[in-house]
Amino acid sequence: MRLRTLNGAVLALALGAASLLGTRTAGAHDDADEKKAKQKQEKQQQDQDQKAKQKQAKQEQQQGQQQEKRQREQDQRAKEQQRGSYQQKQHQQKEQDRQVKEQHRQNQETQQRLSKERQQFLIEEHRGRVTQYGLRLHDQERIGSERAEKLRQAKRHANYRYQQRYLERLREQRLYLARAYNYDDDPYFYTPPTYRYSRQGRYYEVNEYAVDMLQRAVKYGYTEGVLVGQADREDGWGRDYRDSWAYQDANYGYTGYYASQSEYNYYFREGFRRGYSDGFHDRYEYGSSSNDSFAIHDDALSVIIRLEPFR
């Protein structure tokens, strides 16, 4: 009897232990399954986050490409408009120059002419000057193109468009110099000086054709200064006209005739810094604006070039 009771107790203990072990094993399996499910959920969330980031990056890249494309199209349209406007102004300027030259020619028919020796000296001087200037224009175009690329990379869009326009004019000037020129038919070379002006303590004697060229340098400088000042203001750039490549180059509109390059550069810059001030501050102290055209005031021009007629 005691043996049976003992065996029963042992059996009960064994069954209890087995039941407890089974419960613990089932609990461990549940924990493992829950952990795997959680890891799977985290992995899915990470994949979703990664895909969202990739999608956002792709959208931003596409937006940037679209914006750059729109900017290129805008720059191209602006360049075409500027070219058409410039060609029209150039035609008007040529016609005006032709009329002025014809009038001067008629006035000079009865006036004293320079000696043949002096005429020949001026012709040879100009030939050498034009040749040197033509060579320099090649270098200036290269430097200007490098400057334009830096402006594009800096996203100075208004200045970039202006720089492209300026380079286009330099190319046209180079082509102009390559054409044949009839020196014998140009009244500049036989017209004696009728004015004098002083610069930095030195007097210079010039005829009316040289006067026209120097005044044109101031007028071109003023107009280009206004445009660069406006571009800096539009780009949110600091005020500094000396930073402009147009100011540094100062050859816009120069043909190599009637004035030395250094004289033209000096008076171009005098007009430029005044135009830049007006354009940057959007007010016109030294000149005026009308239909996207700019002109320096006559009184400001006379202050820059103080002419004294002596004949």
* Rounded mean pLDDT, 55-61: 82
Residue 24 domain-assigned (yes or no)? no
Asked if pLDDT for residue 184 goes beyond 90, the answer is no
In a domain, 240, yes or no: yes
Residue 112, number of CB atoms within 10 A of its CB: 10
Number of structural domains the chain divides into:
1
* Alpha-carbon torsion (163, 169, 175, 177), positive or negative: negative
Q: How far apart are the C-alpha atoms of 52 and 47, rounded to whole Å?
A: 9
What whole-number distance in Å separates Cα of residue 228 and Cα of residue 163? 9
CA–CA distance, 42 with 261 (Å, rounded to integer): 74
Per-residue pLDDT tens digits for 131-178: 888 888 888 888 889 989 998 999 999 999 999 999 998 888 888 888
Residue 6 falls inside a structural domain: no
DSSP string, 60-75: HHHHHHHHHHHHHHHH
Q: Is the pLDDT of residue 97 over 80?
A: no
Contact 267, 221 (CB under 8 A): yes
Tell me which of 74-83, 174-183, 285-294 is least confident. Answer: 74-83
Q: Residue 163 in contact with residue 147, Cβ under 8 Å?
A: yes
Tens-place pLDDT, residues 66-88? 877 887 777 777 666 766 665 67
For 131, half-sphere exposure in the C-beta direction (CA atoms, 13 angstrom radius) is 6
Contacts of 198 (CB under 8 A, 6+ apart): 204, 306
Whether pLDDT at 276 is above 90: yes
Domain contains 91: yes
| 153: Cα separation from own chain's centroid | 11
Scan for tokens 């102009």, then name that residue.
Answer: 176
pLDDT tens per residue, range 238-263: 888 999 999 999 999 998 899 999 99
Residue 272 in domain? yes
- In terms of residue numbers, what domain contains 215? 71-309
Tell me, yes or no, whether 158 lies in a domain. Answer: yes
When pLDDT is averaged across residues 288-304 and rounded to a whole number, the result is 92
Does the pLDDT of residue 116 top 60, yes or no?
Answer: yes
Is residue 18 situated within a structural domain?
A: no
Q: Does residue 184 lie in a domain region?
A: yes
pLDDT bin (cut points 50, 70, 90) of residue 220 is very high
